[in-house]
């Protein structure tokens, strides 16, 4: 788990299915300075993976990360978000089914909210035959997942290339 809190960094939180794959995509982006996978958007304080997987906590598997807006713009991160999952399926990504796998943008400022809404509208144009069901909602408490989930695919020695914009 990597954390950065410098004044020049911004925070983003996205949910798009299993957090391992989502994290792997954003770790590749130049300007992303630290990622943490975890749980957000639910009601239970400090949930465990097992509790979230039960579907009863209301949490989504999510990734929270810090990025340098001088190196990568939030709009570019949103563009990547729309391409790495199917935002038209409710509570499902590929074989992962349940509310914990929902598609969501958890915004941290009014500017992020406006950018997310505009980005969703643009993405809807690309999905004109199916409606995007992604939630755009204020960020709430983010609970880091257990250590073994952090940078999980890197631990498996999966190849890692930088994302290009």
Return the DSSP state at 110: H
What are the pLDDT digits (tens) for 107-159?
999 999 999 999 999 999 988 889 999 999 999 999 998 776 677 566 666 55
b/e map 50-87, b = 16+ CB within 10 Å: ebbbeeebebbbbbbbbbeeeebebebbbebbbebbbb
pLDDT of 1 over the 50 cut: no
Ordered domains of the chain (ranges, CATH): 10-155 (3.30.1060.10)
Instruction: For tokens 């807006």, name the residue.
Output: 69
pLDDT band at 3 (very low <50, low <70, confident <90, very high): very low
pLDDT band at 95 (very low <50, low <70, confident <90, very high): confident
As a whole number of Å, the CA-based R_g of the chain is: 15
Q: Is 53 a catalytic residue?
A: no
Query: Which residues contact residue 38 at a Cβ distance below 8 angstroms, ignoring those fewer than 6 apart?
Result: 19, 61, 62, 63, 64, 142, 143, 144, 145
Return the DSSP state at 47: -
> Average pLDDT, stretch 78-83?
96
At residue 156, the pLDDT reads 66
Percentage with pLDDT > 70 across the chain:
85
At residue 150, the pLDDT reads 75
Which one of 15, 18, 27, 115 is the catalytic residue?
A: 18
pTM for this structure? Answer: 0.87
Among the listed residues 101, 96, 129, 90, the one whose alpha carbon sits nearest the alpha carbon of residue 14: 101
At residue 127, the pLDDT reads 81
Q: Poorest-confidence range of 46-50, 59-63, 159-163?
A: 159-163
What are the pLDDT digits (tens) for 34-45?
999 999 999 999
Instruction: For the chain, report the end-to-end CA distance as a whole number of angstroms.
Output: 25
pLDDT of 19 over the 50 cut: yes
């Amino acid at each position: 788990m990597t954390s950065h809190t410098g004044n020049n960094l911004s925070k983003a939180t996205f949910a798009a299915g299993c957090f391992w794959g989502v994290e792997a995509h954003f770790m590749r982006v130049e300007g992303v300075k630290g990622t943490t996978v975890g749980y957000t958007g639910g009601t239970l304080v400090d949930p465990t993976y097992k509790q979230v997987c039960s579907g009863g906590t209301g949490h989504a598997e999510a990734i929270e990360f810090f990025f340098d807006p001088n190196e990568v713009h939030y709009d570019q991160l949103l563009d990547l978000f729309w391409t790495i999952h199917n935002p038209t399926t409710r509570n499902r990504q590929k074989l992962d089914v349940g509310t914990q796998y929902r598609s969501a943008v958890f915004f941290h400022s009014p500017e992020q909210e406006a950018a997310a809404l505009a980005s969703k509208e643009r993405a809807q144009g690309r999905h004109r035959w199916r409606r995007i069901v992604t939630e755009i909602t204020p960020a709430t408490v983010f609970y880091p997942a257990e250590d073994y989930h952090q940078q999980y695919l890197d631990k498996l020695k999966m190849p890692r290339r930088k994302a290009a914009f």
